[in-house]
Amino acid sequence: MTKIGLRKAWFQVHKWIGLILAILIIPLCVTGAALVWDEAIDHAVNPQRYAVSAGPTLAPDRLAAAAQAAVGTARIATLKLPAEPGAPAIASTGPSPTKVQGPAARTNVWLDPATGHVLDVANSRSGLVMTMHMIHGTMLIPVWGRPLVGWLGVAMLLSCFTGIWLWWPTVGRWTRGLRWRRHRNVDTNLHHLFGFWIALPLFVLSLTGAWISFPSFFGPLVGENGRAMGFSAERAAMNKAQPLAATHTPLAVAQAAALTTLPGRVTQVSWPTDYKARWQFAIRPAKGKPATVAVDDASGAASVAPDMDRGQAGIARLMRQIHDGTGMGIVWQVVIFLGGVLPAVLAVTGVVMWWRARGWKAELAARQQRKLVTE
Work out the percent of the chain whose per-residue pLDDT is above 90: 64
pLDDT value, residue 369? 79
Range of weakest confidence among 59-73, 156-170, 213-227: 213-227
**231-253 pLDDT per residue, tens:** 455 666 777 889 999 999 999 99
- Under the banding of pLDDT at 50, 70 and 90, the label for residue 82 is very high
pLDDT value, residue 230? 44
pLDDT value, residue 227? 46
Average pLDDT score over residue span 340-368: 88
Average pLDDT score over residue span 274-294: 94
pLDDT value, residue 108? 97
Average pLDDT score over residue span 214-232: 67
pLDDT value, residue 57? 96
Q: Say if residue 229's pLDDT is above 60.
A: no
Mean of the per-residue pLDDT values of the chain: 88
**184-212 pLDDT per residue, tens:** 788 889 998 999 999 999 999 999 999 99
**291-319 pLDDT per residue, tens:** 999 999 999 999 998 764 444 447 888 89
Average pLDDT score over residue span 221-230: 59
Highest mean pLDDT among 24-33, 161-170, 216-225: 24-33
pLDDT value, residue 8? 86
**96-152 pLDDT per residue, tens:** 876 555 578 899 999 999 999 999 999 998 999 999 999 999 998 888 899 999 999
Can you give the chain as a three-state secondary structure string? CCHHHHHHHHHHHHHHHHHHHHHHHHHHHHHHHHHCCHHHHHHHHCHHHHCCCCCCCCCHHHHHHHHHHHHCCCCEEEEECCCCCCCCEEEEECCCCCCCCCCCCCEEEEECCCCCCEEEEEECCCCHHHHHHHHHHHCCCCCCHHHHHHHHHHHHHHHHHHHHHHHCCCCCCHHHHHCCCCCCCHHHHHHHHHHHHHHHHHHHHHHHHHHHHCHHHHHHHCCCCCCCCCCCHHHHHHHHCCECCCCCCCHHHHHHHHHHHCCCEEEEEECCECCCCEEEEEEECCCCCCEEEEEECCCCCEEECCCCCHHHHCHHHHHHHHHHCCCCHHHHHHHHHHHHHHHHHHHHHHHHHHHHHHHHHHHHHHHHHHHHHHC
Q: Say if residue 170's pLDDT is above 90.
A: no
